[in-house]
Amino acid sequence: MLTENELQLNADVVVIGGGPAAAWAAWSAASQGVKVIIVDKGFLGTSGAAAASGNGIMAPSPENWEKVVSERYRVGKGLANLRWIERVVEKTWLSLPLLEDWGYRFPKENGESVRQSYYGPEYMRVMRKNLLRSGVQILDQSPALELLLAEDGSVAGARGVQRQHHRFYTVRAGAVVLANGGCAFLSKALGCNTNTGDGMLMAVEAGGELSSMEASNHYAISTAFNATVTRGVPFGWASYSDEAGNDLGGYINGRRDPSFLPNALMKGSVYARLDRATPEVKAVIEKSHFIAFLPYKKAGIDSYTERVPVTLILEGTVRGTGGVRIIDDSCATKVPGLYAAGDAASREFLAGLASGGGGPNAAWAISTGQWAGEGAAKFAKNLGARANERTARAAGQVGMRSHSSSSATFDSDAIARGVQAEIFPLEKNYLRSEQKLLDSLAKLETLWQQVQGNPKQDSVRDIEFSRRAVALTAVARWAYFSALHRTETRSEHIRIDYPQTDPHQRYYQATGGLDKLWVRRDWITDAPATPAVETIQATPVVSKL
């Protein structure tokens, strides 16, 4: 029944995703005069991490470019790419005035726009309105589940389901942009439950590669009584204590120690009180990070005088680094006609193995979205008018189709819980070791064998959740397999059996494979740059609205 009324569409470019990177990609492609269809798992404009709250943007004014670029390069610890950082900063700075042209209103200081942050709901409302004005066709509530491949191995479109119409859809296209986010493993981090690694799975099935997947273990602080809002800036002015009220410290030279909280939580409960904030600081953070205070207000808690329990929520690759490997300035992947942008793409050029969360990732979405959209449009144009007449096959297998003779179906929810049991615990994913990784990989392999069976397909939700379980399992395997093979500690990748950073391991790790995983070292041949400016921030940075 689901296939009998399948929706069949044609486009030059199909963009998969519904956040900033996808919106910028769709607009950029449409600006090249091609037909664009964008498919989103939710409602474009309200779903995803960006639409859920505000965020900073790494878009300094030109007189500050050198300082910001140098600091971002330093954070990358030898793996970031100076040229890519420079082009991201420049492209983002040049792009933000477009937002104002489309109707977004940045705050003003002395008559000048201050483009250092955005209010997510309004940002994405403006982006959606602009896409419709540009002639982009939007399919909401239409998660893409697999890519189509032409006989020569190039992409030929995408296929998915439409929840509200209870049917499959197919979009034939000359090029595809994957901009459907990273993977937060259904941790309930704010706005991230649509980020389940679908793009990474689709890319590998099509013959693409991933990179820096060992940087997939970013955790973010949240109140424990409402563990979803992961905005860490206010906690830069917190005092931390244990159950008995003993001060736990947590600061180095006035700056919050990133390793403090995970280590403290593995020993017991941790409480926070924002009593280090001055009146001036309070005024800024309550405005720029207002959503972080909503749990307090709903619970009737004074965050400045009362202690609250805090926890860490896994954001995985969303604020981590790993993703689809891009091979040139247009954000092309190894698969002809397939492009990646935003959190779906590896951010290794921007961040190394450190987090690009917040301003850097926001800039990455704006810039890579445009480069990928333009590249996809050019590729589609070069195929000519008959590109959508190519013979094509569906690339998805596991979770979409089964070769098993058994009538039993695997339990998608149980698979997801099994993945989370290996990927959520700090003692497994934050403090890694060879034995821990091997133990978890063995359990994840068992889950992978289970999803080879029959997926439940009685409804569009069944199909979507079966495929989601496969993506979660696949991403966890790639993350841990990559982590196993980087035998050092660097940035967010911590190996307790290799506690030092090895200067000889200056390479990116490509990874892929489905039944049989593999890794490859892509050596960085450029000599490390010497940043012109090195700064260490003594106090937390506050984004002003």
**Does an H or E element contain 145, and which?**
strand 144-150
- Nearest CA among 315, 336, 314 for reference residue 327: 336
- Nearest CA among 9, 72, 217 for reference residue 537: 72
Question: Buried (b) or exposed (e) across 516-540, using 16+ Cβ within 10 A?
Answer: ebebeeeebeeeebebeeeeeeeeb
- Nearest CA among 479, 367, 374, 371 for reference residue 428: 479
- Nearest CA among 28, 352, 319, 18 for reference residue 198: 18
Helices (H) and strands (E) in the chain, counts: 14, 25
CA 279/CA 275 separation, integer angstroms: 10
3-state helix, strand, coil in the chain (%, to 5): 35, 20, 45
Instruction: Please tell me which residue in 159, 256, 325, 490 is annotated as part of the active site.
Output: 256
CA 233/CA 144 separation, integer angstroms: 34
CA 140/CA 42 separation, integer angstroms: 6
Spatial neighbors of 108 by CB under 8 A, at least 6 apart, are 114
Q: Copy the structure tokens of residue 237.
A: 């002015």
> Do 385 and 81 meet the contact criterion of CB atoms below 8 Å apart?
no
> Do 179 and 342 meet the contact criterion of CB atoms below 8 Å apart?
yes
Spatial neighbors of 121 by CB under 8 A, at least 6 apart, are 46, 51
Please report where in the chains the tokens 């942009």 appear, as a residue. Answer: 177
155-162 and 323-324 as β-strands: parallel, antiparallel, unpaired? unpaired
DSSP string, 208-237: --EE-TT---EEEEEEGGGTT----GGGGG
> Do 188 and 226 meet the contact criterion of CB atoms below 8 Å apart?
no
Active site residue 256: yes
Spatial neighbors of 191 by CB under 8 A, at least 6 apart, are 47, 48, 49, 50, 51, 52, 53
- Nearest CA among 17, 14, 11, 16 for reference residue 35: 11
CA 167/CA 1 separation, integer angstroms: 8
Beta bridge partners of 323: 211
The widest CA-to-CA distance across the chain, in whole angstroms, is 71
Catalytic positions: 256
